Structure 1
Amino acid sequence: MRIVLILVGLALLVAGLWVVFGHGSYQTTDTLVQFGSAKLTATHDKAFPQWLGIAGIVVGALLAIGGFFKKG
């Protein structure tokens, strides 16, 4: 159980840092116009919110530290 806490914590920590430094994004596709079966779509890149990265760093650090100090 201890190693799982450390690994999950480190993964969240790295993901949080990735988002905070501006590399985390996702794509959304919007339908602009649709005529029957033909449709015109647009794809946008959107960044993850900054607070999500900070939360990932905090939670990841707490889990990793908890895994390091857990007895057993």
Structure 2
Amino acid sequence: MRIILIVVGLVLLIGGLWVVFGHGSYSATDTVLQVGSAKLTATHDKAVPEWVGISGIVVGALLVLGGLFSKR
């Protein structure tokens, strides 16, 4: 159980740091115009909000510390 907490915490911690330092993004596709069966789409790269990264860092650090200081 301890090792699972530590591994999950490290993954969240690294992912949170990745997002905070500006590398986290995703693509969103919007339909601009649709006439019959033909449609015009636009793809935008959007950044993941910074609060997601900060919460990942906090939760990840708490899980790692909980795994390290667990009695079992």
**Is this a same-fold pair by TM over 0.5?**
yes
> Gaps (5+ residues) in structure 1?
none
Tell me the TM-score normalised to structure 2 length: 0.98
> Gaps (5+ residues) in structure 2?
none
Tell me the TM-score normalised to structure 1 length: 0.98
2: CA distance, partners of 1:52 / 1:35: 38
Among all aligned residue pairs of Structure 1 and Structure 2, give the percentage whose two residues are the same amino acid. 74
Aligned residues: CA RMSD: 0.5
CA drift of 1:71 comes to 1.3
1:8 match: 8
Q: Tell me the SS of whatever aligns to 1:7.
A: helix
Q: How many residues align?
A: 72
1:52 match: 52
Q: Tell me the SS of whatever aligns to 2:27.
A: strand
